Amino acid sequence: MSPQPDAFDASASAERDLRVLGQLLEGDATQPGWYEQRVLVEPTTGLPTLQLMLVRIERELSSRSQVALMTVLISPVVRIEQLFGWKTFDDISRSIAEVLGEVKQECLREQDFLAEISASGTSFVLVLSGPRYGSPLTYDTLAAIRERLRTELVTRIRARFPAEVARHFDCSIGCTIINADSAVPISRLILRGLDGAYEDAHGERDQLLERRRAALADIIARKRVTTVFQPIVDVYEERVIGYEACARGPSGEYENPAFLFEVAARTGLVWQLDRLCRDAAAAELPRLGPGELLFLNIDAESIFDPDLGWRAAVEGFGGRVVLELTERAAIRDFPLFQRVLGQVRDLGMQFAIDDVGSAYSGLRLIAESRPNYVKLDMGITRGLDLDDIRRELVRMLLHLADRIGSTLIVEGVETAEELKALQEIGVRYIQGFLLGTPKPRLTSPGMHALRG
């Protein structure tokens, strides 16, 4: 393989691309070098690109006279990159390609093949050879394959990625059939087929999004959101300092708060949903014990909601409320964010950064906001009693919180060993199943776990 050059000339590269494709179409291409590899293979996923796919489809049409295209579109790209960074998104793209490859190998035929036709890792194409089951390809056949593919893809992605990553994924699958036609250039047939498959996928995505928006609007209108509360404990004094309020939708997929708010973000209903959840949680404010706080999760967009002061401040409970903003939040205008945060604090409410350690932007968010509370992500808590690096991260964050006048709360404590390790480090405030599961009322946990 020829070496990769230090400089890249776009004009010369375009000429080389055309020459390589011409050689491929004429059938006299030699062993591809670096430039040829760039034309034929997408470097992030290792899948064939559109150019090589055109050649493969032409061969299939020549021998079988019929192929089907299934476009798999992954979204939303911008939100994923903002939350997790482009390196994480590249890892996700590679994993999606691997999942599609596994599904293709297990569920489809050997003659079928997979390609990527975007440089961003968001658009994949499965080429299905005909005939199928002894008959020409039909759209009924493709519909059955599409549902099987979607089920496998969604199931495997949810199993492979953490929930906070997997919840941001949607995929739409479009279908089209290409029949050989000697009167139409092969490239025109293929590009028409791709256009049809894309149009089908976009239509399916729009219809799904509209159905989800209507369902969420109904949930909000009928106030079908409930709240559960998990205690946060001072392990030194063996007392509850507050409760985190967590929203739950009606049974089914909307019961998952991550899915609930992801749909809200994509359909423009974040403020309405956040207001409903805040009101539902605020109903418990009068039941708080002396000195106890109520921690409320808010979406990044809701920090700019003019209704954020709502009735907690009006009714005199502002000082008992702590607003939690996840570390994964994409804050684009930090000066505006700081002004709004100042207004929130003027109402007496406190502020926390949640899920610290789960994404790549948390340190700046902490530096810009100087939160009252820093909540450590459970991903770092898990198994820290067996991991020196995790324990050192906790020590560092505890020191950072002390320096900026914040209080560190460690989430996700589930075992006595994790609790002991945190106590040895000097962590005072914890939250997790070991001391209390989320419940519909403000329920004080038993403190026996703190005594071994």
At 287-338, the pLDDT tens digits run 999 989 999 988 777 777 777 666 555 467 778 899 888 755 556 677 877 8
Per cent of the chain over pLDDT 90 is 22
Give the pLDDT confidence of 174-229 residue by residue, as tens digits: 999 988 888 888 778 888 888 999 899 888 888 888 999 999 999 999 999 999 99
Domains in the chain: ranges and CATH: 1-8+16-34 (no CATH), 41-213 (3.30.70.270), 224-451 (3.20.20.450)
Q: Which of 125, 208, 112, 212 is nearest to 174 (CA)?
A: 125
Structure tokens at 346: 């003027």
Per cent of the chain over pLDDT 70 is 79
Q: Decide: pTM greater than 0.85.
A: no
Q: Which of 125, 117, 129 is nearest to 71 (CA)?
A: 125
Structure tokens at 419: 């609790």
* 12 pLDDT higher than 50: no
Q: How many other β-carbons are positioned within 10 Å of the β-carbon of residue 396? A: 10
| Residue-level pLDDT at 328 | 54
Give the pLDDT confidence of 436-449 residue by residue, as tens digits: 889 988 888 877 76
* 29 pLDDT higher than 80: no
Give the pLDDT confidence of 325-371 residue by residue, as tens digits: 875 555 667 787 788 788 778 878 888 988 776 654 567 778 778 89
| Residue-level pLDDT at 90 | 75
Give the pLDDT confidence of 19-28 residue by residue, as tens digits: 444 454 444 4
| Alpha carbon distance 433, 143 (integer Å) | 43
Q: Which of 317, 321, 375 is nearest to 350 (CA)?
A: 321
